[in-house]
Amino acid sequence: VAPRQQHYEFGGPIGAFGITFGLPILVHVFNLFCNDISGCPAPSLLHPKSLDLAQLKREIGWPDNGVFGLFSWSATLWTLAYYALSLVQYRFLPGHHVEGTELSTGGRLKYKLNAFNSAMCTLAILAAGTIAQGAEFPVWTFISDNFAQIISA
């Protein structure tokens, strides 16, 4: 059994917690308070003494059904479909096979590096759709119409 090491990267458990939970919250804050409805920041935030929650909700585009409006099955399923596409690309697109750093047990994990090929494949699909349909390409309209739900997925 290899000896246990106490060296952490990215701030250790606190950093991992911050990235896991803090980053999605921060992305939602930016999405809500800097938007195409009222600009950045929402005007109500510039006058905290006269802050009115109803006015702030209108300025940030808060969903009518509250926090539940930030989630949708459609966005979640399309996000999972994107991950499935990434899995298919990992499996079938060419890439370099490399070994990682030595583990405490003495072995090495093997990795397939094909992120560039995967990105180019995805971009080619998106470019072809955009050339054929312009801004009305369904991927772009879906992202535009469901951005808050996608970042929640």
Grade residue 35 by pLDDT with cuts at 50, 70 and 90.
Answer: confident
Q: Would you list the domain boundaries of the chain?
A: 10-62, 69-153
> Quick one: pLDDT band at residue 126, thresholds 50, 70, 90?
very high
What is the band of 42 on the pLDDT scale with cuts at 50, 70, 90? confident
Tell me the two tokens of residue 6: 């106490």
At residue 2, the pLDDT reads 61
How far apart are alpha carbons 17 and 12 in whole angstroms? 9
Three-state DSSP class for residue 73: helix
Tokens of 128: 């072809």
Q: Is the pLDDT of residue 95 over 70?
A: yes
8 phi and psi angles, rounded to 5 deg: -110, 150
pLDDT at 3 over 70: no
Instruction: Report whether pLDDT(17) > 80.
Output: yes
Q: Can you give the pLDDT at residue 1? A: 58
Do 56 and 127 contact (CB within 8 A), yes or no? no
Percent of the chain at pLDDT above 70? 97
What is the predicted pLDDT for the residue at 113?
96
Radius of gyration for the chain, computed over Cα atoms and rounded to the nearest angstrom:
22
Predicted TM-score of the model (pTM): 0.79
Give me the pLDDT at residue 18, please.
92
Average pLDDT over residues 42-47: 88
Residues 6 or more apart from 19 whose CB is under 8 A from it? 10
Assess whether pLDDT exceeds 70 at residue 59. yes
